[in-house]
Structure 1
């Protein structure tokens, strides 16, 4: 599928912001006063900004509010409700801290759970698509949550936890790519399986001569050699380099560099997430 800039920004920024809110809602770090204001402002800008950018990918952004209606059947609608709940609860939790007030632990725990639920709903939107074998798996929402929590630990300055999460998520991403390749090879099929015909089936003519939404969005192919190179870049930037930087004697400059490197790697991984998503409709366009 064609990677849209709005989706790259949405999934990267909202994941980092919601991941940071998870740690802040659990008192990590135990900020208050101006420190709390700075941390929560950053997290709300990332999470809120990312969620707002997602509306740019809608064909009719002015109808975004209608997404709240279908929560019984739509993961997109559930994501909308979960995000509003998460931001509302974290706002209630943060308010007393801005004035050096008490920590409302019950609200904080609920807020952290709502943030994780929001990220899970985002991943489940893609996992629900049976026509994209690479996405249609439980590992898709699991990786979304892993990325969010890892980025949140980095932003929250939880060095030891961040190092463990970086190593675990990096390994999990490598395995997710491998298992995704296997699912595509096993389940994608050929023009023979798509048509039910035997022998050598070839495309006589494309379904139509002009370009449309399907050909622009769904029939996007990234060369295997480029995908392999980009996977290596994503692993180095998102996980290996931040691990090395955190292993050095701590300084704020190195911490910022680790966060920026991780964010850049996440963007590359997200680009691949969409670019490598082979939709079965590609069989009818000479894939």
Structure 2
């Protein structure tokens, strides 16, 4: 439990927060959850005739969603030590939430891409294939979205192991997805006040529930006798001013959402989109930055964040024996991937395929 009299002063640390290696996860989770939310809204709106969503926003929006999802996947893949070994993430579907998340997200992306492609045509065959693609994408959302949340609910990361994590992810999907659809409609000339009002209500509800969940998490964890309390020291002190800015942006987004819900004005939508993007970016970056594991060894150097940062600053990390790596994206070695495919025997390939399901 933190001693209130010995806490460090509040700081910004914005550069440190927004340039860390974890920004790959920030980009992936925000992009994927936003696209998932937008796809659910579009699909259900079209299937069930949900008022403003039923009219659609043109054949180009699914391709924007494909591009945004691809960006998230690219950022996640390129932060791996060897990006060209990405396929190993599918190993161990039987036991690993990470593998299940990857499989679900991959199914969603495949379904989304198929939906975008078949949506370009207007006949019975492509229409049926479009609906099948939509079903695949929705199944991928169910599996990938659940395990995207599940893999963070682990006892070894007390700050993440709270129902606020689920609320934050769903809030991003609902608010971000609704705003993405409304912005696309505005750009494409299909925006209506009714769509703006629906977007405003969805965003306001998502933000209100997330704010309540964040308060509940703080109330439960900030004085707890666990690493979660240390996370809240980082949140309110190390990144204290950044956290305050995040809360202010959340309030601004909520006010803009209410204004949009009441008026349906495009100006309110733009204000909401701006505040929401900044709030989600800061909030998700903090989500990854402040977590403290219970599994950290007690040794002074090994996995000590302060020493790791110091080693990178003064050049000690240049020595590979130190075990500290510099942050940054890694090169995708296409030639090595092709060589692996060529040199791997069929027996080894079958064994690797079995490992996807057996571990």
Classify 1:13/1:189 alpha carbon distance in 2 versus 1 (closer, same or farther; 3 Å): closer
Runs of 4+ in 1 over 6 A off after TM superposition: none
Closer/same/farther in 2, CA of residues 189 and 126 from structure 1, 3 Å limit:
closer
Question: 2-side partners of 1:254 and 1:96: how far apart?
Answer: 34
Equivalent residue number for residue 109 of structure 2: 87
Give the structure 2 partner of residue 122 of structure 1.
148
Alignment correspondent of 2:354 = none
CA offset digits 1:186-239 (Å, max 9, x no partner): 35169xxxxxxxxxxxxxxxxxxxxxxxxxxx9x93443436513413413543
Corresponding residue to 2:254 among 236, 239, 257: 239
Aligned residues: 254
What secondary structure, in the 3-state scheme, does the structure 2 residue paired with 1:186 have?
coil
TM-score after normalising by structure 1: 0.74
Pick one of 136, 155, 158 that aligns with 2:161: 136
Q: 1:109 to 1:247 in 2, by over 3 A?
A: farther
- State the Cα RMSD in Å: 3.2
Greater shift in the superposed pair: 264-273 or 237-246:
237-246
1:178 deviates by 2.4
Q: Does 1:248 align with 2:274?
A: no
Q: Deviations over 1:56-92 (max 9, x none)?
A: 3323322221011122222221111111211222333
Q: 1:222 to 1:78 in 2, by over 3 A?
A: same
- Among 39, 56, 73, the alignment partner of 2:78 is 56
**1:41 pairs with 2:63:** yes
- Name stretches of at least 5 consecutive residues in structure 1 with no aligned partner: 191-217
Matches for 1:100-249 after TM superposition, within 5 Å: 100-101=122-123, 103-104=127-128, 105=131, 107-127=133-153, 129-157=154-182, 158-181=195-218, 182-183=220-221, 185-188=223-226, 221-224=234-237, 225-226=240-241, 228-249=243-264
Q: 2:118 aligns with which of 79, 96, 109?
A: 96
Q: Which moved more, 1:98-107 or 1:149-158?
A: 98-107
The normalised TM-score by structure 2 is: 0.61
Pick aligned residue for 2:30 from 9, 12, 15: 12
Aligned residue in 2 for 1:205: none
**In the aligned structure 2, how far is the partner of 1:113 from the partner of 1:149?**
17
Equivalent residues in 2 for 1:60-75, closer than 5 Å: 60-75=82-97
Q: 1:23 to 1:76 in 2, by over 3 A?
A: same
Change (3 A) 1:226 1:57: same
Q: Which residue of 1 aligns with 2:286?
A: 272
What's 2:43 paired with? 25
The CA deviation at 1:257 is: 4.1
